[in-house]
Amino acid sequence: STTFTQVITIEDTTAPMWSTAAASLNVTLQCSDTSGLATAQSAAPIATDNCGGTVTYTKTSGSFVAGSCVNSGTYTNTWIAKDVCNNSSTTFTQVITIEDTTAPMWTTAAASLNVSLQCSDTSGLATAQAAAPIATDNCGGTVTYTKTSGSFVAGSCVNSGTYTNTWIAKDVCNNSSTTFTQVITIEDTTAPMWSTAAASLNVTLQCSDTSG
């Protein structure tokens, strides 16, 4: 007979499929977690091809997009996988969310600004009132302070009592610290001093000197 020809055509039109679950590389980190960010940025999804062979990946690294404040926002990274026949997968997306939910911490030790002064020590009082604590933020940036100055509260006598001052520290994402408290105690423990010289009122009189 004449030759009967059968042609079997093999195609590879199926793109690689992601074996890494969608959103499994998403992560939420504190802005201070640099090691966590490095780990997240180095993570990558895996795809498999129906016909085997080498799968190549193209990653597009997104830059930081700030959120509601300068220390919060997202990195969005994407990948495309291709097989040896240049079939392209769907896009795999990773979202790294950066948060700043940690309040500033006081580096000034609690009670270290407390002081006890004699009621006459006006310069000491001025120095104590001018003192202020310092806080640091885990993500850096400017820390702002709100001071509430307490008025004098008299104690057991009019010359003794306390001033109580408080501070709140806030970071650029408006996280508020605990309250730092300073107590300035005013004491009057010094007895009056004679300004009249000793023996200056002593006098010698004749027994007839009734007016003297």
Here the tokens at position 89 are: 């997968």
Q: What are residue 129's phi and psi, to 5 degrees? A: -70, -25
* pLDDT over 80 at 157, yes or no: yes
Handedness of CA 114, 118, 122, 123 (dihedral sign): negative
Q: If pLDDT is split at 50, 70 and 90, which confidence band does 144 have?
A: very high
| CA–CA–CA angle 137, 77, 58 (5° rounding) | 145
**In sequence order, which residues have a C-beta less than 8 Å from that of residue 108 and are 6 or more positions away?**
133, 134, 135, 180
Give residue 76's pLDDT.
Answer: 98
**Over residues 14-38, mean pLDDT:** 97
Residue-range domains of the chain with CATH: 17-99 (2.60.40), 105-187 (2.60.40)
Tell which residue, 91, 28, 33, has the closest CA to residue 57. 91
- 130-139 per-position pLDDT tens digit: 999 999 999 9
Here the tokens at position 115 are: 């002081």
Q: What are residue 117's phi and psi, to 5 degrees? A: -130, 150
* pLDDT over 90 at 140, yes or no: no
**In sequence order, which residues have a C-beta less than 8 Å from that of residue 26 and are 6 or more positions away?**
94, 95, 96, 97
* pLDDT over 80 at 206, yes or no: yes
Alpha-carbon distances of 27 from 24, 38, 99, 142, rounded to whole Å: 8, 12, 11, 26
Give residue 68's pLDDT.
Answer: 87
- The whole-chain average pLDDT of the chain stands at 96
Q: If pLDDT is split at 50, 70 and 90, which confidence band does 207 have?
A: very high
* pLDDT over 90 at 212, yes or no: no
Give residue 203's pLDDT.
Answer: 94
**Over residues 35-50, mean pLDDT:** 97
What is the rounded CA–CA span in Å between residue 162 and residue 4? Answer: 111
Give residue 53's pLDDT.
Answer: 86
* pLDDT over 80 at 171, yes or no: yes
- 80-119 per-position pLDDT tens digit: 999 999 999 999 999 999 999 999 999 999 999 999 999 9
pTM: 0.78
